[in-house]
Structure 1
Amino acid sequence: MTAKLSLAALPALGKVEVPTYRREDLSPGIVHFGVGNFHRAHLAVYLHELFQKGENRDWAIVGAGVLPSDAAMKDRLAAQDYLYTVVEQDRDRNAATVLGVMVDFLPPGDPATTIARLATPEIRIVSMTITEGGYFLDPAKGVFDPNHPAMVEDGRNPDAPKTVFGLIIAGLKARRAAGLAPFTVMSCDNIPSNGEVTRETLCGLAKLSDPEFAHWIEANVAFPNAMVDRITPATNPGQIEFLKAEFGVEDAAPVFCEGFRQWVVEDHFPLGRPAFETVGAQFVPDVAPYEHMKIRILNGGHAAIAYPAALMDIPLVHEAMEEPLVDRFLEKLETEEIIPIVPPVPDTDLRAYFGIIRERFSNPKVRDTIPRLALDGSNRQPKFILPSTRDRLAANEDVVGLSLVSALWCRYLAGTTDSGAPIEIMDVNRDRLHAAAVKAKDDPQAFLELRDIFGDLADDPRFKARFAHALKTLETKGTRATLEAYLGGTLV
């Protein structure tokens, strides 16, 4: 017997954990932009656990967004009273929990309503999970790009913003006009120094229309850095059916994720914050060592295995880890090239951390997909792979494996697997990347001339030589033979 998820149905859901708090017990304290799966399996879960303990119930979430996907999510959640199910899956465990931490969802495409809510006194934190590409950065330099068309448009029309950052600026202006202190702006995206990046983008956009207000933001608004971690793939129809069959819950927007989660945050919240540390978050004076560890080892590891797996027609991440060549490639790359240049992390053994990552990648229940890991490479490679390449070259260390990762990405972007199957390239720069990858078959430097991605690496003779040799080997011998050569120490 199944029940369609709603507030009225909660008493009938006997196989899942349900909220012990009532909707009328909650009041909003957070507006969150980007109500995707990761947010709903991370920040929202920490809040749910606090609410279950009877704490901090004045910090409920109001959803917000600017994309068509945000409108679709709003419709699905509104139809079930903003409830949804999180299913945690490890090798030997399935656990389902219904969350009720969201109390409203602002209509995308209605900036006036969003700005008005941001200007209310109860909103003390504005958080965001908008992906790496949502910060309008120059990929090679990692700094705000004022010439991005979306930024130019919001700069010209600050009273009718269409981006998350334009809405936040308008909300802060409305608060200042009303005599209210500014909310804290908290990024929950996988970007190094994400709080500082958020400040740079917000102030950079504000300067386009109101330089004085940009200075006010710099002086008065808090942007804590944070490191977030939980593998949370897109939900597929089979998982929705699994939830119905196993737990009796009919949910149009469930989230499936691993049991592991981590959140390391700098404690800078002038208007207060929930007591996240009582439910597992870690507050530290400096997030940088933790985020370097996670971005280089975990996100870099994901980026490393995505393209060889795709080229060998492997669809799922745990299946890639079951392929000895991919697993051994990841281990060699991490232990010989990535981990040695990751700065020390307090109370953390980096090799042991990688062991945990390797086990997480191998979790068959999460069913994370290779296409998800491979998407948006033009934003991810400069953040997750190329910084390690650059650091090793600066230390006069070799980059055989890291250059191979870049060559694998190039080979993937050519558009076919080793078997000849077509590859759907999911990247905002797809056409430009594909054209460069095709040219690189005859001239490897054509790909490295994507200067917004590779920057000065395109001029480094050591990287150029390693990349060209790896790409030629991939083209002439295929992915499997190239990985074997790397593992055997003959890819030189």
Structure 2
Amino acid sequence: MRPHRATRPPVRIVHLGLGGFFRAHQAWYTGAAPDSARWGIAAFTGRSRALADQLTEQDGLYTLVVRGPDRDEMAVQTAVSAAHPGTDLQSWCAYLAEPDVAVVTLTVTEAAYRRHRDGGLDLDAPDVRADVSALRHGAEVTTVPGRLVAGLAARRIAGAGPLAVVSCDNLPGNGEATARVVHDLAASAEPGLAGWIAENVSFVTTMVDRITPRTTPEDVRVVAELTGHEDAVPVVTEPFSEWVLGGDFPAGRPTWEAAGARFADDITPYETRKLLLLNGGHSLLAYAGSARGHDTIAAAVADPVCHGWLDQWWDEAARHVPLPAVELADYRTTLLQRFANPRIRHTLAQIAADGSQKLPIRLLPVLRGERTAGRMPTGGARMLAAWIQHLRGASAPVNDAGAGPYQQRAGSARDVLALLAPDLAGDTDLIHAIDEAGAHLPLRP
């Protein structure tokens, strides 16, 4: 039988992006906080309702499986008080109109922010234009910025007071990025709302880290076997977890620091470290590792060739992380241990998704920094070459809504670079390095 509970924490946090990472990270920190009984979460999926329905059947309870190299630790998580499909805009707005709701958190992936190349909202995108019209006429919105603005509009009308919006996605300066797309949309739809948001809503910047692969049917079976109860939606994660936050919470927050979170005035060094070393390393292995026939991070990093490529990338990337060399060396050692955990089946196909959104953040700062310093980023050139081959169908399947223009240009490294980073398109030495790296891919073990 599934576990049930008589009471649940009152909803004071609303989350968008109900999935494995959220349940292994923000929900875990909230449930582990000493004041967790006062901080329930109403969580919404992106669009589909299947996961929301499954969690609702289980009273919001699910098993978190912390999978170390040698053994599993399992615990039922209690922070999710309610689960809804992302299409339930009425419930979303109703929660945000409640004065007791103090925090909105997001895990929606980089692409969902609908950002233009300049960092603002892509107001020319058809779905964004449709949301501008919907907000003006009281119709239903569909994008993430649209849902945020609709919920904040409901809060303003209700006079429910200030709150904090907390992005937990892999975007540099994710708080500022979220603030900008929200303000751009609000200003386009209702300028008065934009002013209210500026005065009443804080946007908190965060760095989040916990490897959380997709749950498999085998995971579901193992949980049932070892716990004695059925759980349709357990979450598997690694022992390591990190959360660094910077910003104001005008309506309060859980005592996340008691569960291990850290608060810092400037989180830029930590987010840069994670984006370039962990996420950049993941992208390299996703494209180059899958070109060599591997299907998981653990398998790729066990390949001496991939391991060497990873070290080369890290040597280049570490030069652009503003942290002491000793701290970076320790972080790299920890990353290798995490990547090598064979019991965490983190698939390269999962990581390879949405490369057109990820590579500008994970790769381009290193390419630009190295070329400015007069160095050739051989590891970075290899990552880009492997992505180009991925676009040509040579490795993991392409799962990227923004890939079309790049696939049309994938026959030429120069053409891809001209679209990805126009400022580098005239760098003939870099283009030659990308071509050279591509000529040696794929190399099957």
Normalised TM-score (structure 1): 0.86
Q: Which of 344, 349, 361 is 2:323 aligned to? A: 344
* Alignment: residue pair count: 442
Q: Deviations over 1:168-207 (max 9, x none)?
A: 2222222222322122111111111110000011111112
Q: Distance in 2 between matches of 1:285 and 1:108?
A: 33
Partner of 1:330: 310
* 1:222 and 2:202 aligned: yes
Q: Distance in 2 between matches of 1:342 and 1:80?
A: 43
Q: Which of 102, 113, 123 is 2:80 aligned to? A: 102
**Residue 224 of structure 1: CA displacement?**
1.0
Query: Mapping of 1:27-426 within 5 angstroms?
Result: 27-50=10-33, 53=34, 55-68=35-48, 71-138=49-116, 140-158=117-135, 159=138, 160-335=140-315, 337-344=316-323, 349-417=327-395, 423-426=396-399
Partner of 2:436: 469
**Residue 385 of structure 1: CA displacement?**
1.1
Alpha carbons 2:202, 2:247 under 8 Å: kept: no
Q: Deviations over 1:101-160 (max 9, x none)?
A: 11112343232232122101111101110011111113x544432212221111111122
Matched to 1:340, the amino acid is R
Alpha carbons 1:115, 1:168 under 8 Å: kept: no
Matched to 2:357, the amino acid is N
Q: Which of 409, 414, 419 is 1:445 aligned to? A: 414
Q: Greater CA deviation, 191-200 or 241-250?
A: 241-250
Matched to 2:281, the amino acid is G
- Structure 1 residues 134 and 348 mapped into 2: Cα distance closer, same or farther (>3 Å)? farther
Q: Deviations over 1:205-230 (max 9, x none)?
A: 11221123223322331011100000
Instruction: Determine helix, strand or coil for the equivalent of 2:319.
Output: helix
Matched to 1:308, the amino acid is A
Q: Distance in 1 between matches of 2:237 and 2:329?
A: 24
Partner of 1:13: none
**Residue 6 of structure 1: CA displacement?**
3.0
Q: Distance in 1 between matches of 2:54 and 2:404?
A: 33
**Residue 364 of structure 1: CA displacement?**
0.6
Alpha carbons 2:36, 2:79 under 8 Å: kept: no
Q: Which of 407, 421, 426 is 1:459 aligned to? A: 426
- Structure 1 residues 472 and 107 mapped into 2: Cα distance closer, same or farther (>3 Å)? closer
Q: 4+ residue stretches of structure 1 with deviation over 6 A?
A: none
Instruction: Determine helix, strand or coil for the equivalent of 1:349.
Output: helix
Partner of 1:433: 406
Alpha carbons 2:8, 2:81 under 8 Å: kept: no
Q: Greater CA deviation, 378-387 or 462-471?
A: 462-471
Partner of 1:14: none
Matched to 1:445, the amino acid is R
Normalised TM-score (structure 2): 0.94
Q: Greater CA deviation, 87-96 or 58-67?
A: 58-67
Matched to 1:38, the amino acid is F
Q: Distance in 2 between matches of 1:407 and 1:448?
A: 10
**Rg larger in 1 or in 2?**
1
Q: Distance in 2 between matches of 1:249 and 1:308?
A: 41
Alpha carbons 1:415, 1:434 under 8 Å: kept: no
Alpha carbons 1:172, 1:182 under 8 Å: kept: no
Matched to 2:427, the amino acid is D
Q: Which runs of 5+ in 1 are unaligned?
A: 8-21, 418-422, 482-492
Q: Distance in 2 between matches of 1:324 and 1:117?
A: 51
